[in-house]
Amino acid sequence: MKVVILAGGRGTRLSEETTTKPKPMVEIGGRPILWHIMKIYGAFGFKDFLLALGYKGDVIKRYFAEYRLHNSSFILDLSTAAIDVVRPGGEDWRVGLIDTGTATMTGGRIRRLKPYLGQEMFMATYGDGVANIDVNRLLEFHRSHGRLATITAVHPTTRFGALHLDGGKVLKFAEKPQLGEGWVNGGFFVLEPQVIDYIDGDESVFELAPIERLVADGQLMAYRHEGFWQGMDTLREVKRLEELWNSGNVPWKLWDD
């Protein structure tokens, strides 16, 4: 099953990081967040990716074109240019790097991938959010209800410490907790091929008209993910993810080293 990752965004709120690279290439722990997302899927055996490229897509192309080289140990004979690989590196992934336009919206990017998706169910997510989501359970949920689309609903992390009060007495304080109520779109979709027919063209924002039409037709279901989820829209969120990685407490790290 193919996994679509929307990797064409500019990341304007991360302008300090994204003047020379696209948002999915902003690094956490020395690796692009895009790599972390792919590792989440790879941990469950999903290794056939389609990356919808846009803004500075050449940076992502170069990263994967050189990925095996940078992750291998080898001996180079400069007189003959022969390379003897002594420790192979890299992942057993198949990665499609597809230009979908610099100004194309999220729905339009998915629509542009139609020739590569065929008539099979596929998964999709954004190139800027991680979670400790069980992808297999998400897929089982989608198959159980028979609708065209499944969206993952998550609790967002508040920017502020949460106070639990009894009058003026503080009963509990939680720094930056996952909110106990309220659900937002966390990405991690499962989509049937017919969903593409709900997308009009390049200007279509998937989260607007296509989703609204799916809801109106009773074709959208929500998988509730109660665990960790974190988007990366601001430098504050980049810092939080980096702090978690450096602490060794990495909720989204579902793979073995």
pLDDT tens digits, 93-130:
999 999 999 999 999 999 999 999 999 999 999 999 99
At 175 the pLDDT is 59
At 121 the pLDDT is 97
> For residue 255, is it within any domain?
no
Place of tokens 């400790």: 132
CA distance 107 to 90: 31
> For residue 237, is it within any domain?
yes
pLDDT tens digits, 195-238:
999 999 999 999 999 999 999 999 999 999 999 999 998 999 99
At 180 the pLDDT is 54
Q: How many domains does the chain have?
A: 1
> For residue 256, is it within any domain?
no
**Span 27-45, mean pLDDT?**
97
Three-class SS state of 81: coil
Query: 3-state DSSP helix/strand/coil percent for the chain, to nearest 5?
Result: 30, 30, 40
Task: Pick the range with the lowest mean pLDDT from 47-56, 73-82, 217-226.
Answer: 73-82
CB 206 within 8 A of CB 125: no
> For residue 7, is it within any domain?
yes
Alpha-carbon distance values, 44 to 108, 143, 151 (Å): 28, 17, 18
> For residue 160, is it within any domain?
yes
**Span 73-95, mean pLDDT?**
89
> For residue 254, is it within any domain?
no
> For residue 45, is it within any domain?
yes
At 172 the pLDDT is 65
**Span 48-66, mean pLDDT?**
96
CA distance 83 to 146: 51
At 178 the pLDDT is 59
Ranked by mean pLDDT, which of 12-21, 159-168, 169-178 comes out on top? 12-21
Say whether pLDDT at 47 is over 90.
Answer: yes
Range of 14's domain? 2-247
Q: Band of the pLDDT at 161, cuts 50, 70, 90?
A: low
In this structure, what CATH number is given to the domain that contains residue 12?
Answer: 3.90.550.10
Say whether pLDDT at 176 is over 60.
Answer: no
pTM: 0.89
**Span 143-160, mean pLDDT?**
87
At 72 the pLDDT is 85
> For residue 253, is it within any domain?
no
Say whether pLDDT at 187 is over 90.
Answer: yes
Question: Does an H or E element contain 17, and which?
Answer: helix 15-18
